[in-house]
Amino acid sequence: MTKKDRKQVTNSGSRTNPGVRVAVAFALLAGAAAASAATLSIADAVSVRKANFKEIGGAFKTVNDELKTGAPDINTVGPAAKDIARRAALVKDHFPAGSGPESGLKTKAKAEIWSNPTEFGKYTAALARSAKALDTAARSGDLAAMTKARDALGKTCKGCHSQFREK
């Protein structure tokens, strides 16, 4: 975990995406027009969100592979669950207006994310909550608790994907 990552943990309530801030600062430094700073920040937001989901996907696979063995290594499940919880809490800030299909960028985020923010917000909240529950279960080391929390988290992933992500 880098120093910056640790800072993000304590700042997870913040709505400011540090990646976007860096991109904007860089564009200003380069003397770019405000318009290109805005373009940069959207492109940056899309790549930050895809990278974050990719890491969540990898860590969730690690958890699933361990649980499948029937005798999960807690030293593997624990850090993976913790990473998912940290990253899940960031997801709600990864969908700024303009970062959908209309951006022209390569993204599977559906326009419904922005046309139905109430429903989408339920999923981002459920993601943060169920990922935290998996982290708690992993700390307990109880296999039944971990399995139950994993199932609930998996349902949240699937539910959001089927409604808000292109196939």
Q: Which residues bind ligand HEC (CB under 6 A)?
A: 46, 49-50, 53-54, 56-57, 60, 91, 107-109, 123-124, 127, 153, 156-157, 160-161, 164-165
- Tell which residue, 82, 87, 12, has the closest CA to residue 49: 87
DSSP tag of 4: H
**CA distance linking residue 12 with residue 83, whole number of Å:** 13
**Least distance to ligand HEC from the beta carbon of 46, Å?**
5
**Least distance to ligand HEC from the beta carbon of 37, Å?**
21
- Please say which residue, 27 or 84, places its beta carbon nearer to ligand HEC: 84
| 67: enclosing H helix or E strand | helix 34-68
User: What does each C-alpha distance from 145 to 18, 139, 150 come to in angstroms?
Assistant: 34, 10, 8
- Please say which residue, 33 or 147, places its beta carbon nearer to ligand HEC: 147
- Please say which residue, 6 or 108, places its beta carbon nearer to ligand HEC: 108
